[in-house]
Amino acid sequence: MNTRARSSAPPGKAQEQRLREVWRTPSGWRYWTSVNNVDVGIWYAGAAFAFMLFAGVLALIMRAQLAVPDNDLVSADFYNQAFTLHGTVMMFLFAVPIFEAIAIFLLPPMLGARELPFPRLGAFGFWSFLLGGVFVCGSIFFNAAPSSGWFMYPPLATDEKLSGIGADIWLLGLSFIEVASIAAAVEIIVGIMKCRAPGMRINLMPLFAWYLLVVAGMILFAFPPLIAGDILFELQRMFDWPFFDPARGGDPLLWQHLFWIFGHPEVYIIFLPAIALMAMIVPTFAQRPIVGYSWIVLAAVGTGFLSFGLWVHHMFTTGLPQISLAFFSAASAAVAIPTAVQIFVFIATMLAGRVVLSIPMLFGAGSIATFVIGGLTGVMVALAPFDWQAHDTYFVVGHLHYVLIGGMLFPVVAGIYYYFPLINARHLSVRWGKIAFWLMFTGLNVAFFPMHLTGLRGMPRRVFTYPGDLGWDWLNLMSTAGAYTFAAGVLIVVADIVRPKHGDPKSALNPWNAGTLEWISEPEEMWGVRSIPIVESRYPLWDQKNLVADVNAGRFYLPDVEEGRREGMVTSVLDAKPEQVIRVPATGGITMIAAVALAAVFLTLTFKWWLAASLAGFATLATILYWLWTGTAEIPKKAERDAGLGLVLPLYTSGPASVGWWAMFITMTGNSTGFASLVFGYFFYWTIHADFTAGATGPGLTWPLISVALFVLAWGTMMLARSLNANGSVGLMRTILVTSSVLAIAAAAAALAGPWLHRMDPVAHVYPAIVWVLVGWTVVHAGLGVIMQFYCLARSVAGRLTPTHDMDLRNTCLYWHFLALMAAISGAIMGLFPEVGG
């Protein structure tokens, strides 16, 4: 294969210079308008780390308070804000974003790609995350931080007097970040499925990519239930709709279900990417391919699925039927199997190779040693009878910190030591690394091991103080000492990262002699890979001779620039056959503006400034439309591009061949999960009440069914418009498109008419409230559908959408499939269910 590569003409310096110029990161203040994955990845990681240190400081304050019994170092209220923020920040602002950061930074070079498919979306996600994070963290300096726990259980968190504005800050600030996470998930899934280097079939994909694919898929199904819960929660807080108020038919437990349907997969969303780093580090330092590649795939996919059957194990003490608890105990036990497989894969790989005990490997070994303890205590708390004792005690605090520090933080630190040469061509200090490791390892064990005993001796979680002489005093003192030891270790790592390293010797290009593609990329260059290689092995740098030289000499695909554009390759899902040359947007500030506008929406909502919120909403919509109009579905000047090595590829595709179609499909899958969560809520209320309508009138049968019929018609005409366009009947297509919009608006009006004409009062009882929510969901989505139709119309008129270049129209059709399905389901449920099934 390589002979083909080498036979091409030797590329010149001018070519290299052109490529460098196209991928150059702007300087000065424009630096921040960069959307390149390397820049965004580093900002993302830096911000996430800063948030981690902030949450760590909160933890140290808490440990100081708990060092001795009856301590009054901080007030009860401050302590409660501190533990709420500690959990929230570590989960939402560190653990999840750091993996998004690593993925954005590492995936393109690892897959042999130049960029992820949607660089602006990645940048938008980062800015959203940063703004939301600063907003949530900053609240503690105004004594306005959320103080109801990171799980925000109602009624404590829905009561305005008991929770203050903190709960709004939590809900709105984090909803914002959840949106960013879903954006990252879309980017990662499409990136892994469609942007791998030619030849990288799924059996050759780096394990990191397998894990990230699973994790991003999990985000799609895990985050939307929380967003659905957030919607219900904010509707209760802002408008007094009684979703969690038992006096009016609501139930606090619905929130717990929705929160933990998110919350447990979340643990694995955090854990799997960290293990993915281990799966890259272990083979490098065992100097051999991983043993049981397929087993890792089994473990990743299996964990991904099983993790959705565990959520009730956070609710073992809520008084659900024991038989239900038992199912979740069983699933919680089952998830230990794939986890055990992963650990054994690492150990087997080490046994089958010769281990180099470098700093990354030291942290890796420490990770296994401690994570296994967390895993074993995890199996313990998975059993309902034991959990009745351990739940909400320091036993669980001990367990979860072993899991998260052993299973997540240690691998991430290992990853930092491992990948640091990729960031700025320098190594971190080995001597200080060892000291940091032993401080952190000792600190972890001294701080958290005693907590298991403290918990079983009856110390509950989330207490700002405790009485002496219950057998907890010396255990707590130990934990505090351990926490500070741990912090000293973290401090050393941070100091080593930020210290200037100009004097240090430059590291080699592939200093650890790793086998995977990311080690080709040179830290100074922003192009990811000099030319896009053909991959023939799981460890191309070990197995493909001269690969590095050939890639860096530009002897593979796309070594040169055309029309001054940033370009990458799209390949097929299973076998990575080249399909398209994709042009990705370069530097631009629009994503930052969009994020600021969206932040303004959430900020103004927090303070209930309705007018400002609607203005900000319009600004966001306008910005996003501008962004789409200028940066997507661009019709290329010429249809095809010579990618080099005799390969000519199209520049424009639409439908399932295009990355945009996949992004829409994935986004709408997540969106449907949110909808399904609301439907779950509807039936949840049905199960807990003898008569869930509480005698209130429903929306009737007529209007919901009329609405469904109109939605189906609108969908049908939309499909018609697409085929008309494909057949060249552009004028007729435009007419039909408008007809479809009119039908959609009528359908939305009919959906509203049901509850409106029956005078359903959402404040009075939960039944009308949940009906209004389903109607609202449908109407908002119909509104978006109509906006998309008009967008297509405008594109068609502007000549940016033609019979051959119909990406926008096809994506809108895809949206409409989902919309029609959701509208039909919600109409049928509202119209038929309480009458027929009630």
Partner 1 sequence: MAAISESSGILTAVSKPLRTNQEGNRPLLHGLWSLEVDISDRSKNIVAASNRPTNSKCIYQCRCIILFLGLALWGCSGQQSALEPSGEEAASVAQLFWAMLGGGAVIWLGLMALLATAIRGKLGPIDNRAATQLVFWGGAVLPSAALVGLLGYALWLMPGLRPFANSGAPQVIIEVTGRQFWWDVIYRLPGGVQFRTANEIVLPVGQRVEFSLKSTDVIHSFWIPSLAGKVDMIPGRTNRLSLVATKEGRFRGPCAEYCGTSHALMAVEVTSLPVQEFALWTERRKQPSPGVFAPGSELFEKHGCGSCHRVEGTSAASRFGPDLSHLGSRNTLGAGILPNTPETISSFIVRPDAIKPGTHMPAFDMLPPDDIRSIAVWLKGLE
Partner 2 sequence: MTRILPSETDSLWTLFTAPVIWALHFLACYVLVAVHCQKPGVLGIGFSSVRLIIAATTMAALIGILLSAWLAWRQWGYGRDDPPHDDPTLRDRTLFQGFATLLLSGLSFVAVVLVAMPVLFISECLR
Site for partner 1 in 48-67 (CB under 8 A): none
Query: How many angstroms separate the CA atoms of 66 and 72, rounded?
Result: 9
Q: How many CB atoms lie within 10 A of CB 268?
A: 25
Residues 554-583, interacting with partner 2 (CB under 8 A): 573-575
298 or 372: CB nearest partner 2:
298
Q: Residue 9 binds what, of partner 1, partner 2, none (CB under 5 to 8 Å, by partner type)? A: none
Residue 386 interacts with partner 2 (CB under 8 A): yes or no: no
Residue 387 interacts with partner 1 (CB under 8 A): yes or no: yes
Q: Residue 769 binds what, of partner 2, partner 1, none (CB under 5 to 8 Å, by partner type)? A: none
Structure tokens at 274: 């960290």
Q: Are 255 and 223 in contact (CB under 8 A)?
A: no
Region class of 834: left (phi > 0), else alpha (psi between -120 and 50), else beta: alpha
Q: Residue 202 binds what, of partner 2, partner 1, none (CB under 5 to 8 Å, by partner type)? A: partner 2
What is the closest distance, in whole angstroms, from the C-beta atom of residue 212 to partner 1 in the complex? 22
Q: CB-based contacts of 377: which residues, under 8 Å, 6+ apart?
A: 395, 398, 399, 402, 452
Residue 357 interacts with partner 1 (CB under 8 A): yes or no: yes
Q: Residue 309 binds what, of partner 2, partner 1, none (CB under 5 to 8 Å, by partner type)? A: partner 2
Residues 506-535, interacting with partner 2 (CB under 8 A): 535
Residue 617 interacts with partner 1 (CB under 8 A): yes or no: no
218 or 613: CB nearest partner 2:
218
Q: Residue 77 binds what, of partner 2, partner 1, none (CB under 5 to 8 Å, by partner type)? A: partner 1
45 or 207: CB nearest partner 1:
207
Residues 454-493, interacting with partner 1 (CB under 8 A): 456-471, 474
Nearest to 833 by CA among 764, 746, 771: 771
Cα–chain-centroid distance for residue 592?
19
Residues 634-693, interacting with partner 2 (CB under 8 A): 687-688, 690
Cα–chain-centroid distance for residue 729?
41
Query: How many angstroms separate the CA atoms of 5 and 552, rounded?
Result: 12
What is the closest distance, in whole angstroms, from the C-beta atom of residue 201 to partner 2 in the complex? 4
Q: How many CB atoms lie within 10 A of CB 577?
A: 11
Query: How many angstroms separate the CA atoms of 255 and 171, rounded?
Result: 13
DSSP state at residue 609:
-
DSSP state at residue 644:
E
Query: How many angstroms separate the CA atoms of 263 and 512, rounded?
Result: 37
Residue 367 interacts with partner 1 (CB under 8 A): yes or no: no
393 or 717: CB nearest partner 1:
393
Q: Residue 726 binds what, of partner 1, partner 2, none (CB under 5 to 8 Å, by partner type)? A: none
Residues 130-189, interacting with partner 2 (CB under 8 A): none
Residue 75 interacts with partner 1 (CB under 8 A): yes or no: yes
What does the DSSP assignment read for 475-531? HHHHHHHHHHHHHHHHHHHHHHHHS--TTSPPPPSSTT---SGGGGS-TT-SSSSSS
**Number of residues in contact with partner 2 under rule CB under 8 A:** 44
3-class DSSP state for residue 643?
strand
What is the closest distance, in whole angstroms, from the C-beta atom of residue 255 to partner 1 in the complex? 10
What is the closest distance, in whole angstroms, from the C-beta atom of residue 386 to partner 1 in the complex? 6
Contact with partner 1 (CB under 8 A) among 13, 354, 502, 638: 354
Residues 128-187, interacting with partner 1 (CB under 8 A): 147-149, 153, 155-156, 159, 162
Q: What are phi and psi of 539, to 5 degrees?
A: -125, 75
Q: Residue 460 binds what, of partner 2, partner 1, none (CB under 5 to 8 Å, by partner type)? A: partner 1
What is the closest distance, in whole angstroms, from the C-beta atom of residue 346 to partner 1 in the complex? 9
| CA–CA distances in Å: residue 497 to residues 41, 334, 365, 444, 524 | 16, 39, 21, 21, 18
353 or 776: CB nearest partner 1:
353
Residue 309 interacts with partner 2 (CB under 8 A): yes or no: yes
Q: How many helices (H) and strands (E) does the chain have?
A: 28, 4
Contact with partner 1 (CB under 8 A) among 391, 530, 566, 722: 391
Residue 353 interacts with partner 1 (CB under 8 A): yes or no: yes
Contact with partner 1 (CB under 8 A) among 18, 32, 61, 392: 392
Query: How many angstroms separate the CA atoms of 462 and 460, rounded?
Result: 7
What is the closest distance, in whole angstroms, from the C-beta atom of residue 281 to partner 2 in the complex? 19
Q: Residue 687 binds what, of partner 2, partner 1, none (CB under 5 to 8 Å, by partner type)? A: partner 2
Contact with partner 1 (CB under 8 A) among 31, 388, 607, 626: 388
What is the closest distance, in whole angstroms, from the C-beta atom of residue 797 to partner 2 in the complex? 39
Q: Are 266 and 272 in contact (CB under 8 A)?
A: no
Residue 386 interacts with partner 1 (CB under 8 A): yes or no: yes
306 or 710: CB nearest partner 2:
306
Contact with partner 1 (CB under 8 A) among 42, 68, 73, 348: 348
Q: Are 283 and 289 in contact (CB under 8 A)?
A: yes
| CA–CA distances in Å: residue 629 to residues 84, 555, 721, 733, 780 | 41, 35, 20, 20, 22
Query: How many angstroms separate the CA atoms of 742 and 719, rounded?
Result: 15
Identity of residue 605: L
Residues 397-426, interacting with partner 2 (CB under 8 A): none
What does the DSSP assignment read for 531-562? SBPPP-SSSHHHHSTTHHHHHHTT-SB--S-S
Residues 279-298, interacting with partner 2 (CB under 8 A): 289, 292-295, 297-298
442 or 537: CB nearest partner 2:
537
Residue 349 interacts with partner 1 (CB under 8 A): yes or no: yes
Nearest to 89 by CA among 140, 14, 33, 23: 140
Query: How many angstroms separate the CA atoms of 88 and 101, rounded?
Result: 18
Helices of type H across 689-805: 702-726, 730-757, 766-797
Query: How many angstroms separate the CA atoms of 731 and 721, rounded?
Result: 10
405 or 600: CB nearest partner 1:
405
Binding mask 419-438 for partner 1 (x = CB under 8 A): --------------------
What is the closest distance, in whole angstroms, from the C-beta atom of residue 687 to partner 2 in the complex? 4
Residue 351 interacts with partner 2 (CB under 8 A): yes or no: no
Element (H, E) at 760: none
345 or 405: CB nearest partner 1:
345
Residue 3 interacts with partner 2 (CB under 8 A): yes or no: no
Q: Residue 297 binds what, of partner 1, partner 2, none (CB under 5 to 8 Å, by partner type)? A: partner 2
Q: Are 466 and 66 in contact (CB under 8 A)?
A: yes
Residue 72 interacts with partner 1 (CB under 8 A): yes or no: no
Q: CB-based contacts of 756: which residues, under 8 Å, 6+ apart?
A: none
What is the closest distance, in whole angstroms, from the C-beta atom of residue 337 to partner 1 in the complex? 5
What is the closest distance, in whole angstroms, from the C-beta atom of residue 633 to partner 1 in the complex? 46
Neighbour-count burial of 29, counting CB atoms closer than 10 A to its CB (0-12 exposed, 13-18 middle, 19+ buried): exposed
What radius of gyration, in Å, describes the C-alpha atoms of the chain? 27
Residues 202-231, interacting with partner 2 (CB under 8 A): 202-204
Binding mask 294-323 for partner 1 (x = CB under 8 A): -x---------------------xxx--x-
361 or 706: CB nearest partner 1:
361
Nearest to 111 by CA among 504, 571, 704: 571
Query: How many angstroms separate the CA atoms of 208 and 224, rounded?
Result: 24
Footprint of partner 2 (CB under 8 A): 199, 201-204, 289, 292-295, 297-298, 301-302, 304-306, 308-309, 319-324, 326-327, 329-331, 333-334, 337-338, 535-538, 573-575, 687-688, 690
